[in-house]
Amino acid sequence: MKNETNWKKAARVIILIIALLFFLFPVVWMFLTSFKTEAEYFSYPPVFIPHHFGIENYLNALAMPPDGRGGLQGLRDSIIIASGSTFVSVVTGALAAYSIARYKVGGDNFSFWILSTRMFPPVATALPLFLLFKTVKLLDTHLALIIANTIFALPFVIWLLKGFFEELPAELEEAALIDGCTPLGAFTHVALPLVTPGLVATALFAFVFAWNEFMFALLFTRRNVRTLTIIVPSLVGGHEILWGEIAAIGTIAVIPGIILALVLQRYLIRGLTMGAVKG
């Protein structure tokens, strides 16, 4: 009997290790490729571990394409756009979430309408937004992408924060209101500090989703704005495939996601299901 459970335990661990190898292999392969020379990534049999871990590919990638603004510009634009849409959606979203959680504004129908806007296929909203941005001359600007990303960030932020506010006991804010605090004061001085961990988690999720966004970046930008997610396919599509350089940009591009996975363990379930499943 004891032996059997040991066998089971061993089988469990072995299967999990194999599965983990499967799920991490592509990321690890890209990471290793980012250090390989051309002779190493175009070789048969494939080279698994590069001979030398230099940062040449990273330096080249940041300076590419030849106009000299490639990877570095992508990094800058991704940071501006992801931070911008996170800021707008968290500031407006936190107020709305608080109001919905505490005062039940609009009832269930209103909050479900907000959630449903998150489910729009991006390709369905892309065309009217494109024509709108074209009319107001916002194509190829950071602002256009901040606005577009806010569409998907805002419902997410409201729903996640609504859940966090609902879990706070209302007594503290009631006491503050009775002591003469304004509703805005009760929100900023009492409720907000208490949900800080949830607020940070929400903001990080919103940041990573905007950081990973691709379709809007593809359609609403040309030359002036180029996110990292745009640079990867534009280099893949070139006549020679610069795997080392693309892998370097790809590695830079996955860092926020990996940090999120490792840091926000407690909030992953909520964040990924918009609070539909509470972990």
Partner 1 sequence: MSGAMLDAQNHTKRLFSDKFRKRSVPLLFVLPALILLLAITIFPLLYELRLAFVSWELTVSTKATFVGLQNFKDILFHDARFWSSLKVTLILMIGGVSIELIIGTVLALLLNGLKRSRTFLLSLFLIPVLIAPVVAGFQFRMIYHDQYGPLNYIIGLLTLGHWHGFAWIADPHIALFAIMMTDVWQWTPFLMLIILAGLQAIPVELYEAAEVDGATEAQVFWRITTPMLIPVIIIGVLIRAMDSFKLFDIIYLLTGGGPGDTTETISYYTYLQGFKFFSLGYTAAMAFIQLIIITVIAQLFLRVQQRQPGNE
Q: Can you tell me which residue has the tokens 């729009």?
A: 120
x/- string (CB under 8 A) for partner 1, residues 81-100? -------x--xxx-xx-xxx
Going by the DSSP 8-state scheme, the letter that residue 275 receives in this structure is T
Are 57 and 248 within 8 A, CB to CB?
Answer: yes
Q: What does the alpha-carbon distance between residue 12 and residue 259 come to, in Å, rounded to a whole number?
A: 27
Residues belonging to the chain: 279
The conformational region for residue 68 under phi > 0 = left, psi -120 to 50 = alpha, else beta, is left
* 149: its two tokens: 């990303």
278 is a site residue for partner 1 (CB under 8 A): yes
128 is a site residue for partner 1 (CB under 8 A): yes
How near is the Cβ of 186 to partner 1 at its closest, in Å?
Answer: 10
Judged by beta carbon, residue 55 or residue 258, the one nearer partner 1 is 258
Distance of CA 215 to the CA centre of its chain: 14
Of 35, 156, 164, 243, which lies in the binding site for partner 1, with binding defined by CB under 8 A? 243
Of 10, 72, 123, 136, which lies in the binding site for partner 1, with binding defined by CB under 8 A? 123
Sole window of 54-62, 67-75, 190-198, 242-250 interacting with partner 1 (rule: CB under 8 A): 242-250
How near is the Cβ of 258 to partner 1 at its closest, in Å?
Answer: 6
Are 222 and 196 within 8 A, CB to CB?
Answer: no
225 is a site residue for partner 1 (CB under 8 A): no
Q: What does the alpha-carbon distance between residue 218 and residue 183 come to, in Å, rounded to a whole number?
A: 42
Q: Which amino acid is at 266?
A: R
Candidates 275, 243, 276, 269; CA nearest to 30 is 243
22 is a site residue for partner 1 (CB under 8 A): yes
Cα dist from 139 to 70, 98, 221, 253, 263, whole Å: 19, 34, 6, 23, 35
Q: What does the alpha-carbon distance between residue 87 and residue 264 come to, in Å, rounded to a whole number?
A: 19
1 is a site residue for partner 1 (CB under 8 A): no
How near is the Cβ of 96 to partner 1 at its closest, in Å?
Answer: 4
Judged by beta carbon, residue 72 or residue 272, the one nearer partner 1 is 272
Sole window of 24-32, 54-62, 65-73, 189-197 interacting with partner 1 (rule: CB under 8 A): 24-32
Of 115, 143, 190, 194, which lies in the binding site for partner 1, with binding defined by CB under 8 A? 115
Judged by beta carbon, residue 15 or residue 175, the one nearer partner 1 is 15
Residues within window 173-202 making contact with partner 1, judged by CB under 8 A: 183-184, 187
Of 221, 229, 242, 245, which lies in the binding site for partner 1, with binding defined by CB under 8 A? 229
x/- string (CB under 8 A) for partner 1, residues 26-65? xx-xx--x-------xxxxxx-x-----------------
Q: Can you tell me which residue has the tokens 């030849």?
A: 66
131 is a site residue for partner 1 (CB under 8 A): yes
x/- string (CB under 8 A) for partner 1, residues 139-158? --------xx-xx--xx--x
Judged by beta carbon, residue 164 or residue 187, the one nearer partner 1 is 187
* 115: its two tokens: 């959630």
Q: What does the alpha-carbon distance between residue 117 and residue 24 come to, in Å, rounded to a whole number?
A: 33
Q: Can you tell me which residue has the tokens 């609504």?
A: 162
